[in-house]
Amino acid sequence: MAFETTDDVRKDGRAAVRVVVKLRLVPFITKTRGVALPKPTTDPDAITAGARAALARFPRIDRPVRLLGVRAEFEDRPLTESGGLGHRLVDIHGPDADE
């Protein structure tokens, strides 16, 4: 997911300064954690490292994960509620996740 986000960052023509990971847990509890990158970058390894560092900031998760997302943020664009570019959501359990 971080590599796909990097592709989107490169297409936008700007460097990412922050990476955010979003988790949606059963029953629709959403949590996000982000990290600032050491310097603006379009490097897939740096963005992946940022995503891993953001993921490590979550406390122990004791619920099933419904969705997982990675996004990049830029310093020259105001953040919106959805934030950043390259936001990817993956349905981990499908439509019957609550069962």
Question: Tens-of-pLDDT digits for all 99 residues of the chain?
Answer: 888 898 988 888 889 999 999 999 998 899 999 999 999 999 999 999 999 999 999 999 889 999 999 999 987 654 444 444 444 444 444 444 443
Give Cβ neighbours of residue 16 (< 8 Å, ≥ 6 apart): 5, 6, 9, 37, 40, 41, 42, 47, 50, 72, 73, 74
In a domain, 80, yes or no: yes
Residue 67 falls inside a structural domain? yes
From residue 19, give the alpha-carbon distance in Å to each of 16, 57, 70, 81, 98: 7, 12, 7, 15, 29
- The CA-CA-CA angle for residues 54, 11, 44, to 5°, reads 40
Inter-residue contact 47 to 7 (CB < 8 Å): no
Cis peptide before 40 (omega within 30 of 0): no
Residue 63 pairs in a beta bridge with none
6 occurs within a structural domain: yes
33 within domain boundaries:
yes
pLDDT of residue 78: 42
Look up the CATH number of the domain holding residue 57.
3.30.1490.100
Q: Tell me what pLDDT residue 14 has.
A: 87
**Which structural domain, as residue segments, surrounds residue 51?**
2-91
Domain for residue 53, yes or no?
yes
pTM (2 decimals)?
0.72
Domain count, the chain: 1
Residue 97 lies in a domain: no
Q: Is residue 73 part of a domain?
A: yes
**Does residue 99 lie in a domain region?**
no
